Amino acid sequence: MAQKPSIPKGTRDFSPAEVAKRQYIISIIKNNFEKFGFQPIETPSFENSETLMGKYGEEGDRLIFKILDSGDFYEKKLEENIEKEDSSISIYISIMRIFKEVSTYIVKNKINNEFLEYNESEKLKNDIELINLMSYKIDEWTAVYQFSNINFGILFKNILSRNLEYFLGKIIDYVRNRGLDFKQRRNDINIENNLIIAERNIIKQLSIHFINELKVNYNITEITSNYISKNISEKALRYDLTVPFARYVVQHQNEIEFPFKRYQIQPVWRADRPQKGRFREFFQCDADVVGSKSLWQEVELVQLYDSVFTELGLEGVTIKINNRKILSGIAEVIGAKDKLIDFTVALDKLDKIGEDGVKKEMIEKGIAESAIEKVQPLFNFTGTISEKIDQLSALLAESEEGMKGVEELQFICDNVIKLGLNKSILDLDVTLARGLNYYTGAIFEVAPPKSVAMGSIGGGGRYDDLTGIFGLKNMSGVGISFGLDRIYLVIEELNLFPETVSSTTKALFINYGEKESFYAMTAIKKLRNFGIKVELYPDAAKVAKQFQHADKRCIPFAVIVGETEMNKEKFALKNLVSGEQVSLDFEGLKNALL
């Protein structure tokens, strides 16, 4: 019965050393969040499906992990579905019903009336007549479906009509064999078997054809999976921390004192295809303020990034900033609001493919040459932040929204620069276009030091209507997020984890037997009272094995308490790195390990 143990793809076990390193990063983030006045909240791992669904776009919905209802869900749903006949399994059942009904009807009538006699090799003589007969039957059935299934009924009938020949062709194929079957089957088990396989194949083909029709011609994708999900799942694992936060704010609005600065460090789950560095369960570390439009918050969030990365020892992190209103302004100036993403994507390649390459791509994407000329300064967008802002100011002079963006950017950058950053670099990046669907003001993204080849290690921005979807209007929010996994990799690569990060046991007491162990335990108890991490090897195993254990666990000291030491009320403390050994009384031992 032994199972070979494994974990689901895209998930991870964390060993003690990994937990210690993760905790080290998290505790620095947490301490800085609190230093900046953010307060922790925690929300449940799963939310009601309606809280999450529809908040992350179509793709997001697909990537949300749904939780099956517990208990007798299927029996209950079965009863409900039979009651309503509004059923996700209807497609398959419908096909099968029609198929069985029609084919049986034909076989019976034709054979009974001796209207048709056919053999294995001969084609049916008058398919047309058969089709007419079957059309009647199908009409009858789709009529039933129109009564019984408000969702699928009309679709079903439409698809049947459009694909009548295909469906009937399949059925006729089957009917031919079925005719054969009625003559020979009782004597031949192979024929019976073949018929079963043939029948299944046809039903399968028809079902797939039908589902495909639904997808292709009615733009209904994954209709059955979604339908089933809705029917048997009411809960889903959270996909990020922002939507649960918005839900929290609305639900607890009467208890919350606004502006509300909250942080949240919890795992989220996404059914993404797992790949290197992308997991199905990962931690998000978010800090958001809700309830104030003050730009001082953007200033503070930049400082917060700087403060965390400085404390982590990372030098040269680039905090990129942009503003949604500037992007809107550019779109206005180039006269192509719908081309904004194409524009920024192309512009972002300036370093790689050069000005001509970028312009070529823009033109390919349908942006007019004259429009591109209007934003020529963006192709030589260099200089200090204040010089860049001046250029933007000139460029966007005609766009009211653009100028509002420039003004916001100026306030934030000016103050960040005047107050000073520790080890991070602020940069204005007009190609920064993350979260275009929801950010309305500042947009942030953080790049690791240039020596590390890695994507962004943080991001955020302002959204003017964070909680509107849950019914609380006019709540502006701004927030940032830290990418724990990537920060971990960066710190690992740059060798910046302190050696003391995993606080292992300081000393292992060697076990020489019951009496000696009791003596050791007396000392261990007292040492622990001083907060010193010490352990007794649990068994009186061979001494070499015990030392090996200390070695493998990187425990720096061993304490040897044999009979000699007991009698003298001493402890032999052995430094396992240097090999040095000293004899100490308890006080000396304590001081040596403290």
Q: Of 458-487, which residues contact a copy of itself (CB under 8 A)?
A: 468-471
Interface characters, 486-525, with a copy of itself (x: CB under 8 A): -----------------xxx-----x-----xx--xx--x
Applying CB under 8 A, among 415, 431, 456, 575 the residue interacting with a copy of itself is 415
Q: Is 404 in the site for a copy of itself (CB under 8 A)?
A: no
Among 511, 571, 574, 576, smallest CA distance to 537 is for: 511
Give the single-character DSSP code of 122: S
CB of 36 to a copy of itself, least distance (A): 7
Of 165 and 539, the one with the shorter C-beta distance to a copy of itself is 539
- The residue behind tokens 């512009």 is 347
Are the CB atoms for 561 and 572 separated by under 8 Å? yes
Q: In angstroms, rounded to a whole number, what is the distance separating the alpha carbons of residues 88 and 71?
A: 20
CB of 244 to a copy of itself, least distance (A): 9
What is the 3-state secondary structure of 277-313?
Answer: CECCEEEEEEEEEECCCCCHHHHHHHHHHHHHHHHCC
Q: Cα 483 vs. chain centroid, distance in angstroms?
A: 12
Of 46 and 571, the one with the shorter C-beta distance to a copy of itself is 46
- Phi, psi at residue 103, to the nearest 5°? -65, -40
Touching a copy of itself, residues 43-72 (CB under 8 A): 43-48, 50-51, 62-63, 65-68, 70-72
Please list the residues that pair with 443 across neighbouring strands: 322, 461
CB of 400 to a copy of itself, least distance (A): 22
Of 183 and 525, the one with the shorter C-beta distance to a copy of itself is 525
Applying CB under 8 A, among 60, 86, 97, 403 the residue interacting with a copy of itself is 97
Size of the site for a copy of itself (CB under 8 A): 141
Among 586, 490, 528, 484, smallest CA distance to 22 is for: 484
Among 53, 67, 80, smallest CA distance to 234 is for: 67
C-alpha radius of gyration, the chain, whole number: 35
Touching a copy of itself, residues 226-285 (CB under 8 A): 228-229, 232-235, 237, 247-248, 250-252, 255, 257, 259, 261-262, 267, 269, 271, 281
Touching a copy of itself, residues 126-155 (CB under 8 A): 143-144, 147-148
Q: Is 92 in the site for a copy of itself (CB under 8 A)?
A: yes
The CA-atom distances, in angstroms, between 365 and each of 223, 356, 428, 473 are 33, 14, 25, 37
Touching a copy of itself, residues 307-336 (CB under 8 A): 307
Are the CB atoms for 101 and 137 separated by under 8 Å? yes
Q: Is 2 in the site for a copy of itself (CB under 8 A)?
A: yes
Touching a copy of itself, residues 208-227 (CB under 8 A): 208, 211, 222, 224-225
Interface characters, 530-569, with a copy of itself (x: CB under 8 A): -xxxxxx-xx---------x--xx----------------
Are the CB atoms for 493 and 452 separated by under 8 Å? yes
**SS3 label, residue 318:** strand
CB of 327 to a copy of itself, least distance (A): 25
Q: Which stretch binds a copy of itself (CB under 8 A): 155-163, 170-178, 188-196, 352-360?
A: 188-196
Q: Cα 334 vs. chain centroid, distance in angstroms?
A: 35
Q: Which stretch binds a copy of itself (CB under 8 A): 8-16, 166-174, 449-457, 492-500?
A: 8-16
CB of 121 to a copy of itself, least distance (A): 26
